[in-house]
Amino acid sequence: MTASPLTIALVQQADQGGLEANLDACATACRAAAAEGAQLVLLQELHNGPYFCQQEDPALFDLAEPIPGPSTAYLGTLAAELGVVIVGSLFERRAPGLYHNTAVVLDSDGRLAGRYRKMHIPDDPGYYEKFYFTPGDLGFTPIDTSVGRLGVLVCWDQWYPEAARLMALAGAELLLYPTAIGWDPRDEAEEQARQLDAWMTVQRGHAVANGLPLAACNRIGFEPDPAAGGAGAHFWGNSFVCGPQGELLARAGADRTETLIVTIDRARSETVRRIWPFLRDRRIDAYDALERRYRD
């Protein structure tokens, strides 16, 4: 593992109303973060526009683009200009009728270092992602960059310990989650609090179980249901970074544009794994049932 400290930035924003405005907002935040010493910038899920999955509309497939494509070219130029690694999140058009929710990693020299296609695809009221996204087929493979080996996952993946574990077993030094998650405004405050607490707790658990730092970057703001059939989504922000024992290093608010800048001591991962050797004590001879949907 790379032992040097790493300064990362999480860009938490609301939808700016259009592709150009969103990319401009991302660029402004990246430039500010780089000026403060950030070496890695994590953007939120589907940062180029609104969270369009609140409805099922075939016309919205026009929002997708190829990878490499215009947005990777834009982010790559920005990464090279600033000398930082940028993790973005795009609606990928792979072929007619074949689309993915894809994270992209632009290295500090501007090249496309790799991509990750979201593996776990939700299908819930207001989150009709199965209509748009084909499950990923690239596996849980970390992406090597100038700042280290990144375990990039996307939103719904963050509820699955298997995803984080497989990234860790493949040598990831840091777990990263671009995210778009929010409350149903009709839910009571107590239920909203439980959901937010569960979201943070499960991800902090991934950090603990794998002895790795973790960063989750979420969007903010209320986005109405374009079809006017639902209550819309109030994205809850609370982007955060935690260390390898799940300790919170920084946390954003729920409703404001904010860039978290945090320096991670990556040497602690080695120290923590020595005192909590979870990888050593795994019973890999007894886990065959994990390959089954359910054990009847």
Question: Is-contact 178 140, C-beta < 8 A?
Answer: no
Q: What is the widest separation between alpha-carbon atoms in the chain?
A: 56
Q: Is 211 left (phi over 0), alpha (psi -120 to 50) or beta?
A: left
Q: Does residue 155 carry a catalytic annotation?
A: yes
Q: Does residue 130 carry a catalytic annotation?
A: no
Choose, from 26, 30, 118, 217, the residue flagged as catalytic.
118
Q: Does residue 45 carry a catalytic annotation?
A: yes
Choose, from 155, 217, 223, 242, the residue flagged as catalytic.
155
Choose, from 30, 45, 53, 129, the residue flagged as catalytic.
45
Q: Would you call 46 exposed, middle or buried from its count of C-beta atoms within 10 A (0-12, 13-18, 19+)?
A: buried
61 φ/ψ angles, rounded to the nearest 5 degrees: -65, -20
**Residues catalogued as catalytic:** 45, 118, 155
